[in-house]
Structure 1
Amino acid sequence: MVEQSDRAPLLDWEEGGFGFGGGGTAAVPGLPNGEAAAPPDEPGAEARSPVAGGLTERRLAGWEEKDQIVAVFVVTFDTRSGNTVEWCLPQDVNLEGVEFKSMASGSHRIASDFIYFRKGGFFGLACFANMPVESALERGARMKSVGILTPSYTLLYRYMHFLENQVRHQLKCPGQYSPLEAFYEDKKAILPPTGNGLVTACPPSTKGVPHNRCCMNPEMKITHPAGCMSQFIHFFGEQIMVLWKFALLRKRILIFSPPPIGVVCYRVYCCCCLANVSLPGVGVSVPELRPFFYINVADISALETEVSYVACTTEKIFEEKKDLYDVYVDNQNVKSHRDSLQPLLRLNSADREKYRKLSEQRQMLLYSHEVDGDCTSSEEDLFILFFMEQNNRIFQTLSEVAGSADPTLTAEHVRAMGLDPQGDRTFLVDLLELYGIDAMLVIDNPCCH
């Protein structure tokens, strides 16, 4: 498990760097089926240039990095009035509820944290810090969060170090906002006329991921949201296969953890990535699996209307709100109160075989790094590609069977998809129904005999 002390190295937020170099294109979260944004000199680049909700590396797509920050704010804990927004720019921005999103419930027990969250059509990142003070008025502790809102979460990590520095500055010198004012003026967003931007799903593809990403600083691989997949797999082990099925079925997944919540926000991101499919047209009729990141009781009304999401919380009361979720993850324990989902909680032989193959591929990759110095791919690329290829194989087979003269799924078809004909029967039935695939499953269910 990732320790809370793991932090990003000194990030120069004026530069769009971190070793992203070389040719190729970068996958853009806002584009379908992992379509890559065209570099500035490629035909059609201007027409496909990402807007709110589809950001990519500015050097690859010509996007101005400064046109991203929608708001910057400081939240403080007041002993009389609780969490309050102390300062913000622009002054007329709607930040209702952000005081609770950017300071997780239970944070008074920890020294520092970082929190990803969603606010309407925007995503936010806030850095929290708690400093002891000799003040009876503040009851011995000063707690603040400094955060930002942007149209997409994919580049929020760039500002982590700046926000960490600023929250420490605010604790030591309350009320000195000039660095934040300068930051906002330099980075403030120029949004489309609709104003709210778009909520993006997880990056649907690794096509065009720059090859030298695996050579990033090891700390960056922990604190960069696109570099946390290996820690995610280590944490959940074989249970990753259970989460994978729930993600493909677009279930409402809620992850509980006590503070710190930062690394748990990355588990939300990784959970979404398990459902990546790059086949054209697959999943267009199903709900988008959207990351909510950190939520609290103030988000209950918003969650009531969501049919598919992944979120995390520090508030145990959510476990009792069973109408809000399908799957509840407490530490490494994945469970569901829904009878229809109980078969999906049990690992079968095919699940264990897939996990064995994943572990084997990872060992081979690490060996190539160590012995050959081959840095053409990273663990993150490996993990994301592993699940994408698995998903593609399933939907490719289902599509071929549905389009054949005899649209009947046999045990051989199921095994060819890397699934267990008996253990994955419920999963397959649900998958066919959700994705509207016109094929018939004829495998005998031993429970019926």
Structure 2
Amino acid sequence: MVSRAHPHGDDDIRLLGDDSFEQSDEKDNLISFDDTSGLRHRGPSSSHKKPLSAARSVSPSSAQDSPKGPVVAVFVVVFDAKQGNRIEWSHTVDGSVDIGGVEYKALPSGAHTVSSDSLTFKIGSYYGVAYFRTETDKSSARGAVFRSCGLLGRRLEDIVGFRTVLQSELSQGKHSTGDYHVLEDLVGGRSDFVDNAFTPVMERVNKSEIELMHDNKIVRDFCTLLGADIFRLWKCVLLRKRILILGTPPFADLCHIAHLCSLIGNYDISSPLRPDYNLLLYVDLNDIDKLRQSKTFVACTSELIYQLKNDCYDVLIMKNQLHIQDPALQRTCLTSAMEKENFSELMHDYNLRSSIMHVDSGRFDATEFVGGYFTALNEKILSAFHAADCTAEQTIADSALEDLSLNPASDVPFLQALANMHCPSIRVQRQPLCPQCHLC
């Protein structure tokens, strides 16, 4: 294992200056913290992947895949008024773990606008989680010091449970003494915070009611503000488009929304095409070339320059609106009157289930609920593909689309595009569009 102190940053740095992040008006933020009514979910129940917040256990096979534990590197990043973002200290499982670039992920553009926050990201083949805070320091050129503490792991679900440990370490001011033995012990699974199955102990602790209520509000507001367009987003996710969420801090909220966007494309039913949507989470300016070259991803950012980088994404979610650039994709991913009705029912079911859980003193998880709703729809569609593939005609009649919660007139192009990805031999019958609205 290798520990390093980093007295100097790289020459190629990006300053976290006051003008590097333009804070939007509160009404333009991606998340609008108002008291709009929540939404609920409709559809057949289905087993689905739990959100990252859910407690999980590591199977013996996954433990064998990670014999040294889930954490491969820990680090502390600081912003220096002269040098910019730099790695102050790091410890890796071996010298082969490259953490270059983590100094920009762990202290993102706009970090100076919040007192503390956390975020998740992907760098190379590893996932990362970091917690940062602003510390008052009158001797500093800016009157404050921006510092972040984070770690890297092989799988995101294995490391998010350590967020509380990172927050504790940074809050205790360990940087002043250089005593990072708690962080060092996380690498290789030698920590009291890791059990024999390499599972973060903190991950087995349920979220507090306050945390769960906050996450539920994030999901509720995002869905409510998007409205029926959440079904257009759902179609874009299933078609594996490049989806970028542009917003302002809190960064934890942005990352939670990115996670939700990937969840709505989940399915557990057998298919040659697995639901791997390249979840990048937070991205910065150093990821521009990566996004251009990627065929599919779900990511979020606070870098406003991405508004001008149209070649970096297919779908942009900004200021509570969904922007699809390609006219052909716009026609493929329409929102019909039927889906507006579906969304109303979704909101009704959401509110009903939330109220029932509240009365029964249960815990309602909006992320799991909304993800489960779309997982059920996805599996219904894939089951229809499998059934059609077993027939001689290998055809899905347009009249069957309504049973799939799709519009028989306007959603044929979408269903055909999706069928081409999973079962290329299937053909979806088409009926003429309404000459008046081209939707119903």
Aligned to 2:113: 109
Aligned to 2:357: 369
Aligned to 2:374: 387
Cα distance in 1 for partners of 2:246, 2:367 equals: 24
Cα distance in 1 for partners of 2:260, 2:50 equals: 16
1:313 aligns with 2:301: yes
1:217 aligns with 2:208: yes
Distance 1:372 1:111, change over 3 A: closer
**TM score, norm. by length of structure 1:** 0.74
1:184 aligns with 2:184: yes
Cα distance in 1 for partners of 2:49, 2:239 equals: 23
Distance 1:129 1:82, change over 3 A: same
**TM score, norm. by length of structure 2:** 0.75
Distance 1:328 1:69, change over 3 A: same
Question: Bigger CA drift: 324-333 or 435-444?
Answer: 435-444
Cα distance in 2 for partners of 1:149, 1:352 equals: 41
Aligned to 2:151: 148
Distance 1:99 1:134, change over 3 A: same
Counterpart code for 2:406 = L
Shift of 1:235: 4.9
Aligned to 1:398: 385
Q: How many correspondences in the alignment?
A: 375
Counterpart code for 2:209 = P
- Find the partner of 1:133 among 123, 132, 137: 137
Distance 1:221 1:234, change over 3 A: farther
Cα distance in 2 for partners of 1:325, 1:125 equals: 24
Cα distance in 2 for partners of 1:304, 1:146 equals: 29
Distance 1:331 1:227, change over 3 A: closer
Distance 1:52 1:266, change over 3 A: farther
CA deviation map 1:292-328 (0-9, x unaligned): 0111111123223321110011111122222221101
Q: Percent identity?
A: 25
Shift of 1:67: 1.7
Shift of 1:88: 0.7
CA RMSD across the alignment:
3.3
Distance 1:252 1:86, change over 3 A: same
Aligned to 1:82: 84
Contact 1:236–1:332 (CA<8 Å) still a contact in 2? Answer: yes
Question: Bigger CA drift: 413-422 or 426-435?
Answer: 426-435
Shift of 1:151: 1.1
Secondary structure of 2:393's match?
coil
Cα distance in 1 for partners of 2:369, 2:422 equals: 26
CA deviation map 1:230-255 (0-9, x unaligned): 56434533332121111111100011
Cα distance in 2 for partners of 1:289, 1:26 equals: 16
Shift of 1:131: 2.4
Distance 1:379 1:143, change over 3 A: closer
CA deviation map 1:18-48 (0-9, x unaligned): xxxxxxx996999xxxxxx9x89xxxx74x4
1:242 aligns with 2:232: yes
1:278 aligns with 2:268: yes
Aligned to 1:339: 327
Counterpart code for 1:119 = I
Shift of 1:223: 7.1
Distance 1:183 1:86, change over 3 A: closer
Contiguous gaps of at least 5 residues in structure 2: 1-30, 34-46, 191-203
Contact 1:250–1:309 (CA<8 Å) still a contact in 2? Answer: yes
Contact 2:112–2:146 (CA<8 Å) still a contact in 1? Answer: yes
Counterpart code for 2:151 = I
Cα distance in 2 for partners of 1:291, 1:108 equals: 26
Shift of 1:373: 4.7
Distance 1:320 1:436, change over 3 A: farther
Distance 1:378 1:100, change over 3 A: closer
